[in-house]
Amino acid sequence: MNENNNKKGNNKSSLVIGMCIGIAIGTAVGVATKNIGLWLPIGLATGISLSFAIGHDIDDNGDDETGDQ
């Protein structure tokens, strides 16, 4: 039970890291193209999407970690 709670905390921290990286990249591209209003949300969405894609753990039999199937 405690191990499952630690995995949930890890997913939240990877989400925050993805958001920060996405904001940084979106800001950099936005400043370079002089269109920060467009690139900031694009970078944020990309960072969140990548953090979900990378942070999703799959066990050996192909089910996700919650086992709700």
pTM: 0.65
Cβ pair 16, 24 in contact under 8 A: no
- Give me the sign of the Cα torsion angle 56, 57, 62, 63: negative
* Residue 43 CB neighbours (<10 A): 22
Q: What is the pLDDT of residues 24-65, one digit of tens each?
A: 999 999 999 999 999 999 999 999 998 888 876 554 455 555
How open is the CA angle 6-12-18, to the nearest 5 degrees? Answer: 135
More confident residue, 17 or 64: 17
Residue 14 pLDDT > 90: no
